[in-house]
């Protein structure tokens, strides 16, 4: 068993655990997503291609850090690993309108999909191993949430 102090002392684990958010005793995925929201809020406005590139880099980085952390801890998808929630939320917010309503709606959409895991999210969660397996279910939840966000944009007009 690894102590919280040991997890936070390792830079790879620190990032995988969302800078400590994943150590929350209750709902670490939701707490991790809240930290992702806070980071999103301080990001400067950027063209969609730059935003997409940063998210893509975060995804590939996440495959490595989440896989390494899971391997080091000896647990496939430790509940405290929340970098995948970061990336999933940032995908949710791709090309979302600005404003608190959209930030909160993105949070709700993403968390519901991540918690209930409809197909193909559940498939990815159960069938894929390693860092890719840890990341991909949240990426799929983020894509589905982003589609839901864009549907709301169209409906609201």
Please name the helix (run of DSSP H) or strand (run of DSSP E) that holds residue 79, with its range, or none. none
Cα–Cα distance between 33 and 111 in angstroms, integer?
Answer: 8
At how many degrees (to 10) do helices 83-92 and 28-42 cross? 50
Residue with tokens 């670490």: 28
Q: What is the tens place of the pLDDT at every residue in 104-138?
A: 999 999 999 999 999 999 999 899 989 999 999 99
pTM of the model: 0.95
Residue with tokens 């709301």: 152
Token code pair at residue 66: 């989440």
């Amino acid at each position: 068993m690894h102590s919280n102090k040991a997890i936070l002392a390792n830079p790879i684990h620190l990032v995988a655990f969302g800078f400590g958010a994943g150590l929350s005793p209750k709902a670490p995925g939701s707490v991790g997503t809240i930290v992702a929201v806070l980071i999103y809020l301080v990001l400067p406005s950027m063209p969609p291609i730059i935003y997409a590139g940063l998210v893509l880099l975060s995804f590939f980085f996440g495959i490595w850090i989440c896989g390494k952390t899971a391997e080091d801890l000896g647990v496939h998808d430790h509940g405290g690993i929340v970098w995948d929630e970061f990336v999933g939320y940032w995908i949710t917010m791709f090309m979302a309108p600005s404003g608190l309503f959209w930030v909160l709606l993105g949070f709700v959409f993403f968390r519901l999909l991540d918690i209930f895991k409809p197909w193909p999210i559940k498939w990815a969660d159960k069938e894929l191993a390693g860092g890719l397996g840890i990341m991909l279910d949240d990426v799929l939840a983020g894509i589905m949430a982003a589609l839901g966000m864009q549907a709301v944009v169209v409906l609201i007009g």
